[in-house]
Structure 1
Amino acid sequence: MVFTDQLHRKITLANPPGKIVSLVPSQTELLYTLGLEKEVTGITKFCVHPSTWFKNKTRVGGTKNVQLDTIRQLAPDLIIANKEENLATDVQALMEEFPVWVSDIQSLEDAYEMIAGVGAITGREVQATTLITDIKSGFAQLRPLPAPVPTAYFIWRNPWMVAGGDTFIHEMMRMCGLQNVFGNLQRYPEVDAAQLAGSGCKLVLLSSEPYPFREKHMAALQELLPDARILLADGEMFSWYGSRLREAPAYFNQLLQQA
């Protein structure tokens, strides 16, 4: 059968894959939700959900430093990757030897398309359809703020880095009624004190990943943004675009009550 990934590439599989390697944490969790316990043989060191897989599945390196030889030893029938989270050089090298399905996600619609596509290529269409229905139901109950709040979403410190306007995080912020003050920038730009002071930011979200922000980091930003409310945010809820989306709307509603 022939399947199309989100880069519009054609992937041909004679049979449903029996050995799958996932190079993306949120998509690893999706594969678990779709019931592919036996099929998934390799994951990255950042694929922490589910914990049983993190403990027991073969790790094939990180998302940015994939161990090609380890993957070759696993001899997968299918590799699941992502345009942003994995290095193009790694993915292209793997494409020469294995079927690779690549996602490219910036919006919630892209996430739905990805879930459906992964469900189709793994023979889990019914489970994927049910999951998409559940996620849509959850987002229908999301209660965004009535007036957009100027917000900055931080992913790193030293240097300060934020989510720009062409990211999935930006999409989740928008759906929550949060105006990304750095939405005019792309990807994850560095910002300095002057940019922060002039941003008009009234709410700061400090993500739990990739930098593990904690309460101790709040003071430095409060000095730069004395009029802003600063909250810790669960980065998985804002940036994981697989089955974690089923839990995201309820979390967002709780976060917005604090904001």
Structure 2
Amino acid sequence: MSGRPAVRRVVSLVPSLTEAVAATAPGLLVGATDWCEHPAGLDVVRVGGTKNPDTARIAALAPDLVIANEEENRAPDLAALLAAGLEVLVTEVRTLDQAFTELERVLVRGCGLARPAWLDDARDAWRDTRAAGPFLRAVVPVWRRPWMVLGRDTFAGDVLARLGVVNVHAGHADRYPRIPLADLNACGAEIVVLPDEPYRFSADDGPESFPGLPSALVSGRHLTWYGPSLTRAPQVLGAALRAASR
């Protein structure tokens, strides 16, 4: 347990952190974004999107803590919450190891909770998932119209690397570069990995743009979320990658 005063009211501006708090202490959350869809049936006040939260509504909820992320949430919104006198805990998650560290910071030090068993289960699930090869060279789109892909220094890229997938754009100067489709098809990838979020790639929308290249349709929640979904992510993602690469 942490030594901070008891936290009784939390607002989450990050879907994966919403799931993490709800799975650990269901009654703690009083507000979450419109995109916080897990766990199903979460009954809290909705405070807008991750990029356009209603800061006045959040302040009116009088939370003891607001949890956010430096990539998913905008600095001006976080500054407005701080100016309203709220405590804001901002996470940074670029790797799997960092995800585990930040989850403990949020739940134990931030919320004052006991370390949850699911966090240890998630660490165990990934402990022996360090691929030794052979590696698959992949292009990983995250948006269409325009095409955007995973570049350098991303949580999802690190997750894929643990599963033996080499992101061909990991050395790009941008974290989410815009690259023309013709260039994506000419980048020398062996597989295209298509998550179902943030863009909802599906069997009918995405694979046809990469003729002759195997397509792995994967769960965006298991690829990009850091929370209880990490316990099943190696199994779920690994199965999708193996099926596509046969």
Q: Structure 2-normalised TM-score?
A: 0.92
Classify 1:145/1:214 alpha carbon distance in 2 versus 1 (closer, same or farther; 3 Å).
farther
Classify 1:227/1:43 alpha carbon distance in 2 versus 1 (closer, same or farther; 3 Å).
same
Q: What residue number does 1:6 align with? A: none
Amino acid at match of 1:81: A
Are 2:57 and 1:70 aligned?
A: yes
Q: What residue number does 1:220 align with? A: 208
Q: CA deviation at 1:219?
A: 4.8
Report if the CA contact (8 A) 2:81-2:88 is conserved. yes
Distance across 1 between alignment mates of 2:231 and 2:207:
33
Once the two structures are superposed, the pairs formed by residues 3-82 of structure 1 within 5 Å of their partners are 15-35=5-25, 37-53=26-42, 56-82=43-69
Runs of 5+ unmatched residues, structure 2: none
Cα deviation 1:172-208 (Å, max 9, x = unaligned): 1111111101111222111103321331011011110
Runs of 4+ in 1 over 6 A off after TM superposition: none
Are 2:97 and 1:115 aligned?
A: no
2:113 aligned to which of 113, 124, 131:
124
Runs of 5+ unmatched residues, structure 1: 4-12
Report if the CA contact (8 A) 1:145-1:178 is conserved. no
Q: What residue number does 2:192 align with? A: 204
Report if the CA contact (8 A) 1:236-1:244 is conserved. yes
Are 2:159 and 1:172 aligned?
A: yes
Distance across 2 between alignment mates of 1:234 and 1:141:
21
Distance across 2 between alignment mates of 1:148 and 1:42:
42
Q: CA deviation at 1:18?
A: 0.8
Q: How many aligned residue pairs are there?
A: 241
Q: CA deviation at 1:142?
A: 3.2
What RMSD over aligned residues (CA atoms) do the two structures have, in Å?
1.9
Report if the CA contact (8 A) 1:142-1:250 is conserved. no
2:169 aligned to which of 145, 162, 182:
182
Cα deviation 1:118-172 (Å, max 9, x = unaligned): 1222121332xx3332112111343747211110111111111111121101101
Distance across 2 between alignment mates of 1:240 and 1:158:
23
Distance across 1 between alignment mates of 2:150 and 2:165:
13
Cα deviation 1:212-250 (Å, max 9, x = unaligned): 11111235312xxx3310121111111001221111111
Report if the CA contact (8 A) 2:136-2:164 is conserved. yes
Q: Structure 1-normalised TM-score?
A: 0.87
Classify 1:215/1:145 alpha carbon distance in 2 versus 1 (closer, same or farther; 3 Å).
farther
